[in-house]
Amino acid sequence: MILKRYIILILLASGSLAGFGQLQVQVRGKVFDMTQQVPLVSVSVQSTGGTGTATDSLGRYTIYAKESDSIWFSYLGKGTPKYPIAAIPNQQNFEISLHVNVTELKTIMVKPRNYHLDSIANREEYAKVFNYKKPGLGIVHPNTQNAAVGVDLDQLVDVFNFKKNRRMANFRDRLMAEEKDKYIEHRFSRALVIRLTQLKGADLDTFMVRYKPDIVLVESATDYELQSYIKQCYDRYMKWKEVMGELRKQDN
């Protein structure tokens, strides 16, 4: 019995040691373009264990993964080889340059519109419409004990003013739909799509219409998830363009 317990303890100890070997480690660094001078924004960093992140405005990233995992980088649908974490010499400063040529333009300071302030101003301007509720019958309570309880005549008129009520309800619904569209445009912006896909002109216009997300996705997605969605749509768009090009060749 003592020998059996001793064997069980050894097995438990080995299992614990194996578990410690699977603890997550932190890998951080920067991603540059081919000149090794310009930081790349929104580069996808993923591990074979399923974790992922994206580089920030300075090209920096931090990812947590198991030491037995490998990580790789993806930009505009093009991935790098996988780098085993255990073989990275300095896991706290793993810098990499991608074969991307970034043309730097003169910096122009542009003050963007503030979506939240615009939304608040819109709500204040159309408060009567946003707060509109279908009228109902109100009861007039008399000031004297002998007076009879009656119906508010002004509200009674409003109840039967069907045309006005319908117009106000339609206006309210239209304003709320416009507010949702503005929020979608605020997050799914042309600037963000250009930065992630480099699309321009007619291609950009087609992409913005074809892959515009719905309000549910935009409200629930994190920045990383929204950027991943745009990159996946870009891959689908390029494949669609390739198929359409082949069809045009066959027609000719």
Domain match, 77 and 136 both: no
pLDDT (0 to 100) of residue 217: 87
Domain match, 182 and 236 both: yes
In a domain, 241, yes or no: yes
Q: Which of 30, 62, 97 is the last residue in one of the domains? A: 97
In a domain, 108, yes or no: no
Torsion-angle region of 142 (φ positive above 0: left; ψ -120 to 50: alpha; else: beta): beta
Contact 58, 30 (CB under 8 A): yes
Domain count, the chain: 2
Q: Which helix (H) or strand (E) holds 154?
A: helix 153-159
**What pLDDT digit, counting tens, does each position of 45-62 carry?**
999 988 888 999 889 999
Domain match, 140 and 234 both: yes
Whether residue 223 is predicted with pLDDT greater than 60 in this model: the reply is yes
Domain match, 127 and 235 both: yes
Q: Which of 36, 71, 97 is the last residue in one of the domains? A: 97
Domain match, 217 and 245 both: yes
Q: Which helix (H) or strand (E) holds 238?
A: helix 223-251
Whether residue 227 is predicted with pLDDT greater than 80 in this model: the reply is yes
Whether residue 238 is predicted with pLDDT greater than 60 in this model: the reply is yes
Per the structure, the complete domain to which residue 8 belongs is given by 2-97
Which of helix, strand or coil describes residue 71? strand
**What pLDDT digit, counting tens, does each position of 125-179 carry?**
445 544 545 555 444 445 555 544 444 444 444 444 556 566 666 666 676 777 7
pLDDT (0 to 100) of residue 168: 60
Indicate the burial class of 31 (C-beta count within 10 angstroms; 0-12, 13-18, 19 or more). buried
